[in-house]
């Protein structure tokens, strides 16, 4: 051994020998990066500060929000479903519950999500297409027929008219004789990401934020087990953001809701324990695992240090995960089963509370029953066969995972500072800041795919000629007509005076900023006023975005 190299550590010697090898046999790429452009080193070594990790169930929850995680109970397997009529969707729900699914998740059609009745001219061609069409309480009664609301928790992907659908759900619960305090579930109710990424907004931001804080307050008083919001990074990621942006913009939106609720007079610990989050699981496996861990740690610090929340429940970031729809390819759709498996595994290793696994055919249409079953089975295999659920936070201590977790936290914090400078998430949304950041990243991804810098198997590499199309689920074209007819029959048979009175009260209350609108909406819903009628009253007062 020569003298010059004697002082080098074992690692430095290794690095030196590797650098010689790399000169002769170059690596696959000059530079390796994650989806968020974090540079990936050849090898990670012990740099972890154990103290920042903490323990599961303890602040800052890097390692999970419960002390035993999946050793006590698996995550909730919650498949998003809904298509066509309430009756058909009800049948799919019952089927999924029989197959061992443990929670329901309702997809609504676009007219429902944007507050139009099925007979509105704007609804043409859209009724029942991407989810179930709900016009009045009668549809909701049919949707939940035979499903005990005290035993099953339901997640509803509804935002701008979330208050209306929540009231319908409560009304069905009352009819089933379930006390309000026993009703559990989630409404998405996250309007900021609609402006940023998903597009189903109705009203301008300010009155929209009022509806959200009205729901927080009403549920705190009467429906304490309901998750009043699911602050969603899912759609931000689908719109083309990277992992860091997904976490940063979601947490920034979360802070905006907390600010709005505090401003409306609520105490942080009154509503923060009911805040839930919703993230995406994409392809870069280890970055995704680290992302979930980092998000938990950042949110805990924000709630404890910035908002001075006292209740540990307020510090915990609970989240639902869905595998990444935009990662699925229409080409060779069976490959999607493998992608979904990896993504689902990342979510589980990241400590998710509930999970939706996409079906292989979702790049082509709504899933068939067979595809939906395989997706659910994927979760069951991970839970029961893989063994990853048998210990808490199994990847902790991996040099790479911990280093990435730290790096993501650092990058997210930079974005949060930037948004704070702009004046908060609402202001940043109105200025289009987040939209621009996401769009730039989406365009870069497209260019990388077209130049094959990023390989998508079956899409830009390893292609094959395909002729066979899988079975696709088609929504019957006659459904729109039937839904419109049933709406008309309900409108003809209800007590119109009661409806008019309820809508008039709602309008009056909407004009006064300090009145909580939920009781008036609940009365209107119970009188069988339609989603469109209720939203139109609010459109008159609030205007449209």
Partner 1 sequence: MGKKIRVLVAKPGLDGHDRGALVISQALRDHGMEVIYTGLRQSPLQIAQAAIQEDVDVIGLSSLSGAHRTLFPKVIEELQKRNAEDIPVIGGGVIPSEDIPYLLEKGVKKIFTSGSSTSMLANYIQDLIDPKVETVAAPKKIAHIGIAVHSIDDALHFYTDSLGLQLEGVEVVESEGVKVAFLGIGESRFELLEPLNDESPIKIFLDKKGQGIHHIALEVDDIVARLEQLKANGLPLINEKTKEGAHGSEIAFLHPKAAGGVLFELCQYPLEVKHNEWG
Query: Interface with partner 1 by CB under 8 A: which residues?
Result: 110-111, 113-114, 116, 121-126, 129-130, 194, 198-200, 238-240, 326, 329-331, 363-366, 439, 442-443, 446, 450, 459, 465, 469, 472, 475, 477
Q: How far is the CB of 478 from partner 1 (least distance, A)?
A: 13
CB-nearer residue toward partner 1: 213 or 329 = 329
CB-nearer residue toward partner 1: 238 or 407 = 238
Q: How far is the CB of 197 from partner 1 (least distance, A)?
A: 8
CB-nearer residue toward partner 1: 109 or 393 = 109
Q: How far is the CB of 456 from partner 1 (least distance, A)?
A: 9
Q: How far is the CB of 117 from partner 1 (least distance, A)?
A: 13
Helix or strand holding residue 347 (H, E): helix 335-349
How far is the C-alpha of 374 from the C-alpha of 366, rounded, in Å?
A: 14
Q: How far is the CB of 449 from partner 1 (least distance, A)?
A: 8
- Annotate 213-237 with b (16+ C-beta within 10 A) or e (fewer): bbbbbbbbeebeebbbbbbbbbbbb
Matching residue, tokens 């509806």: 211
Q: How far is the CB of 384 from partner 1 (least distance, A)?
A: 33
Q: How far is the CB of 470 from partner 1 (least distance, A)?
A: 10
Q: How far is the CB of 488 from partner 1 (least distance, A)?
A: 20
CB 74 within 8 A of CB 389: yes
Q: Residue 292's CB: how many other CB atoms inside 10 A?
A: 28
CB-nearer residue toward partner 1: 215 or 475 = 475
CB 523 within 8 A of CB 505: yes
CB-nearer residue toward partner 1: 363 or 541 = 363
How far is the C-alpha of 415 from the C-alpha of 433, rounded, in Å?
A: 11
CB-nearer residue toward partner 1: 113 or 516 = 113
CB 72 within 8 A of CB 125: no
How far is the C-alpha of 159 from the C-alpha of 246, rounded, in Å?
A: 19
CB-nearer residue toward partner 1: 264 or 329 = 329
Ramachandran class of 359: left when φ > 0, alpha when ψ lies in -120 to 50, beta otherwise: beta
CB-nearer residue toward partner 1: 81 or 290 = 81
For 232, phi then psi, to 5°, come to -110, 120
How far is the C-alpha of 79 from the C-alpha of 373, rounded, in Å?
A: 10
With CA atoms as reference, report the closest residue to 226 among 180, 268, 271, 184.
184
List CB contacts of 304: < 8 A, sequence separation 6 or more: 59, 60, 315
CB-nearer residue toward partner 1: 109 or 406 = 109
Q: Residue 122's CB: how many other CB atoms inside 10 A?
A: 13
Q: How far is the CB of 422 from partner 1 (least distance, A)?
A: 21
Which SS3 state, helix, strand or coil, does residue 307 take? coil
Q: How far is the CB of 225 from partner 1 (least distance, A)?
A: 30
Q: How far is the CB of 168 from partner 1 (least distance, A)?
A: 20
Helix ranges (H only) for 451-530 are 479-493, 496-511, 518-526
Which SS3 state, helix, strand or coil, does residue 136 take? coil
CB-nearer residue toward partner 1: 366 or 487 = 366
CB-nearer residue toward partner 1: 182 or 447 = 447
How far is the C-alpha of 224 from the C-alpha of 29, rounded, in Å?
A: 53
């Amino acid at each position: 051994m020569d003298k010059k190299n004697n002082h080098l550590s074992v690692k430095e010697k290794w690095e030196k020998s590797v650098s010689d090898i790399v000169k002769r046999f170059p690596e696959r790429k000059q530079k390796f990066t994650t989806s968020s452009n974090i540079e990936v080193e050849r090898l990670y070594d012990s740099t972890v500060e154990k103290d920042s990790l903490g323990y599961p169930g303890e602040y800052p929850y890097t390692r999970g929000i419960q002390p035993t995680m999946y050793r006590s109970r698996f995550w909730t397997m919650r498949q998003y479903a809904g298509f066509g009529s309430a009756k058909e969707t009800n049948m799919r729900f019952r089927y999924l519950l029989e197959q061992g699914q443990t929670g329901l998740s309702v997809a609504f059609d676009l007219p429902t999500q944007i507050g139009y009745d099925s007979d509105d001219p704007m609804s043409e061609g859209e009724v029942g297409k991407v989810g179930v069409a709900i016009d009045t309480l009668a549809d909701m009664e049919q949707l939940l027929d035979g499903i005990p609301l005290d035993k099953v928790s339901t997640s509803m992907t509804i935002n701008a008219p979330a208050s209306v659908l929540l009231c319908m759900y409560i009304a069905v619960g009352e009819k089933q004789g379930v006390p309000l305090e026993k009703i559990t579930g989630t409404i998405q109710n996250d309007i900021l990401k609609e402006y940023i990424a998903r597009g189903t907004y109705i009203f301008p931001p300010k009155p929209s934020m009022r509806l959200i804080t009205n729901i927080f307050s009403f549920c705190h008083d009467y429906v304490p087990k309901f998750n009043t919001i699911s602050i969603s990074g899912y759609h931000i990621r689908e719109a083309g953001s990277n992992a860091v942006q997904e976490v940063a913009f979601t947490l920034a939106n979360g802070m905006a809701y907390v600010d709005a609720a505090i401003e409306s007079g609520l105490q942080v610990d009154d509503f923060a324990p009911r805040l839930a989050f919703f993230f995406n699981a994409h392809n870069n496996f280890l970055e995704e695992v680290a992302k979930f861990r980092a998000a938990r740690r950042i949110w805990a610090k924000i709630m404890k240090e910035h908002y001075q929340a006292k209740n540990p429940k307020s510090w915990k970031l609970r989240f639902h995960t869905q595998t990444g729809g935009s990662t699925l390819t229409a080409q060779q759709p069976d490959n999607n089963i493998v992608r979904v498996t990896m993504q689902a595994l990342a979510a589980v290793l990241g400590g998710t509370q509930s999970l939706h696994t996409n079906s292989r055919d979702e790049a082509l249409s709504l899933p068939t029953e067979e595809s939906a079953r395989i997706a659910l089975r994927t979760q069951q295999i991970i839970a029961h066969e893989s063994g990853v659920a048998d210990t808490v936070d199994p990847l902790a201590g991996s040099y790479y995972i911990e280093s990435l977790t730290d790096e993501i936290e650092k990058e997210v914090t930079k974005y949060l500072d930037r948004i704070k400078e702009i004046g908060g998430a609402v202001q940043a949304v109105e200025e289009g800041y987040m939209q621009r950041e996401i769009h730039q990243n989406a365009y870069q991804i497209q260019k990388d795919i077209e130049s094959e810098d990023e390989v998508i198997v079956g899409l830009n590499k390893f292609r094959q000629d395909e002729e066979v199309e899988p079975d696709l689920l088609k929504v019957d074209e006659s459904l729109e007509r039937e839904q419109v007819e049933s709406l008309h029959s309900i409108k003809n048979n209800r007590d119109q005076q009661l409806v008019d009175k309820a809508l008039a009260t709602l309008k009056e209350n909407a004009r006064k900023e300090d009145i909580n609108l939920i009781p008036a909406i609940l009365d209107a819903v119970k009188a069988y006023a339609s989603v469109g009628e209720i939203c139109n009253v609010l459109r008159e007062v609030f205007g449209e975005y």
